[in-house]
Amino acid sequence: MSEVAFFVFGTPKGKGRPRFSRKSGRAYTPAQTAAYESTVAYAGHTAMQGKSLLEGPVGVKMTAVFGIPASWSKKRQAEALHHTSKPDADNIAKCCDALNGIVWKDDAQIARISISKVYGEVPGLHVFVEALA
């Protein structure tokens, strides 16, 4: 079974809504979203290390790890487990678009996806992709 796993360092970001130019009315991707997708794409490219694109259905598991706020009490920090504020899990998943042509041909191949948002020591995004066929 083919699989690939990688970690994207830094606070996970969700895909932002498209913005529209006032002059031309054209839609464009916000700069922060484009930068994060570029980081995800680079991590995916590095993990593939010359492997061929995954074909057929794939399963994706993502764990978004957020730093524990220093302003929280020691007790609250110790109890911190699930991250329940922005960005939304579904918007984090949309950053999978950055892996088109790098890990798989198209994100339409994703047949199963699991996303968790947790607190931890090292902020980042764990991504595990496996071929289901």
Left, alpha or beta for 10 (phi > 0: left; psi -120 to 50: alpha)? left
pLDDT at 50 over 70: yes
Q: Residue 93: which of 27, 15, 40 has the closest Cα?
A: 15
125 by Cβ neighbours in 10 Å (0-12 / 13-18 / 19+) ranks as buried
Confidence of residue 14 (pLDDT cuts 50, 70, 90): confident
> How buried is residue 2: exposed, middle or buried, by Cβ count under 10 Å (0-12/13-18/19+)?
middle
Number of domains in the chain: 1
Q: What is the pTM of this model?
A: 0.88
Mean pLDDT of 15-35: 79
Look at residues 133, 123, 125 and name the one whose alpha carbon lies nearest to residue 42.
Answer: 125
Which domain covers residue 99, as residue numbers? 3-131
The CATH number of the domain holding residue 90 is 3.30.1330.70
Q: pLDDT above 90 covers what percent of the chain?
A: 75
**97, 41 contact by CB (below 8 A):** no
